[in-house]
Amino acid sequence: MDVVNPATGARVETYDDHDEDDVEAALDRSEQAFKDWQTRPLREREQLLANAAEVLRENKQEYAETMTREMGKPISQAVGEVEKCAWVCEHYAEHASAYLEADHHPSPPGSEVKTEHEPLGTVLAVMPWNFPLWQVFRFAAPYLTAGNVGILKHASNVPGCALAIEEVFQKAGYPDDVFQSLLIPSDLVDNLLTDSRVRAATLTGSGPAGRAVAANAGDQLKKTVLELGGSDPFVVLDDADLSAAAETGAWARNLNGGQSCIAAKRFIVHTDVYDEFLGSLTDEMDSLVVGDPANEETDIGPQAREDLMETLHEQVTASVEAGATLVTGGEPLDREGAFYPPTILTDPPEGCPVDTEETFGPVATVYEVDDEESAITKANDTPFGLGASVWTQDRDRGERVASRIDAGCVYVNQLVKSDPRVPFGGVKDSGYGRELSEAGIKEFVNRKTVWIE
């Protein structure tokens, strides 16, 4: 696997792939590791996870620089990502025992009935490049602590991140092979899914990848959790705080170079405040610094790969040709690297790419609507259902509108985000299952009913 720095286009490192024999050996080791790991006291597993948080914080600059080098994340955001990984480890180190405590049920006199939560075994994780540490730790922290073991198939452009994650668990004192990273091409994933030693799978990625994993795992009757794409609406009602909405909206669209499933992508704005909000949003996006991701002052680095930037630009170009209005941005920057500027399109014709497809980059689409009802209809006019953001100074109104939006999570007067304390996941084409919080740690356990007479 060649690592190409997207800020320069230069190859910076090469890693040897694992082959089918390596996969077979890893599965054997994983199965053996599970036999011991599942018997370890939960308190011991919690302590090891707390150790992992310490390793992450002690080495946060090193891990952040690996992310920046491999996929172009601005260094300040990369450091923040490592800190968030430490947070999720600390969360489950503190709360796993409470989350996994047996549930007791009504039963006849003299009997006891409870539900225990037992691990399943080896969990395969197929993870993307956009949050190369966070996406992994939000699965690994709960699933490993529940007593499962993990095998990671990471995106091929972030092999250094994959090996760094494996290193974190090693340094934290985890037993050998409780967590393994395999540097394999996508065509070997099917072999893993169909192997009887893999008991469950989780994927964060594209819709087609999710469907393929779900189909293969379903054929084997294996549990899956899928977190797929999103085209999140950002609804600005007529009584919104426009300054706050524009400032947060610009960041919600452009964080991580806009390469986020839960980024604000479709801005749906009430006609009474449309012009003012559009002007403020444009000013905010134009003020963002695009540049060297190794520079602390940079807000937006390069797109993760040249081909991804080209696809994004094709979506913008086709939409403008179909009749959308280009307000700002819209052309790759004339410089070395895969840099694309913050871009705003308005009046997108129905059916054009930015209207119907997920745009995975710093491109905002702005719609004008006449009233609250039209805003809700437009927000739901998408096959995706990951997140949504609603802006109004009336909290009751915000809650009412939020209840009518088809999404896995809706934030009122806040950007959409994942937080260890609350469940995260989508509906419709955005996938199924939940990560994080109590719901996340219970996705891959056997909820065993035990009746004691």
Q: Domain residue spans in the chain?
A: 2-228+430-452, 232-419
If pLDDT is split at 50, 70 and 90, which confidence band does 7 have?
very high
Contact 294/288 with Cβ under 8 angstroms? no
Same fold, 2-228+430-452 and 232-419: no
> Which class does domain 2-228+430-452 fall in?
alpha beta
Determine the Cα–Cα distance for residues 147 and 46; give it in Å rounded to an integer. 10
pLDDT band at 315 (very low <50, low <70, confident <90, very high): very high
- The CATH homologous superfamily of the domain defined by 232-419: Aldehyde Dehydrogenase; Chain A, domain 2 (3.40.309.10)
Share of the chain above pLDDT 70, in %: 100
Beta-bridge partner residues of 410? 388
pLDDT (average), residues 151-180: 98
Percent of the chain exceeding pLDDT 90 equals: 100
Proportion of the chain in helix, strand, coil states, percent, rounded to 5: 45, 20, 35
pLDDT in tens, 31-73: 999 999 999 999 999 999 999 999 999 999 999 999 999 999 9
Q: Is the pTM of this model over 0.85?
A: yes
Mean of pLDDT values over 379-397: 98
> Which class for 370: exposed (0-12), middle (13-18), buried (19 or more C-beta within 10 A)?
exposed
The answer to whether 347 and 324 have CB atoms below 8 angstroms apart is yes
Of 21, 71, 51, the residue nearest 293 (C-alpha):
71
CA quadruple 94, 97, 100, 103: dihedral sign: negative
Active-site residue set: 227, 261
- Strand 103-105 to 11-14 pairing: unpaired
Q: Which of 233, 242, 321, 235 is nearest to 276 (CA)?
A: 242
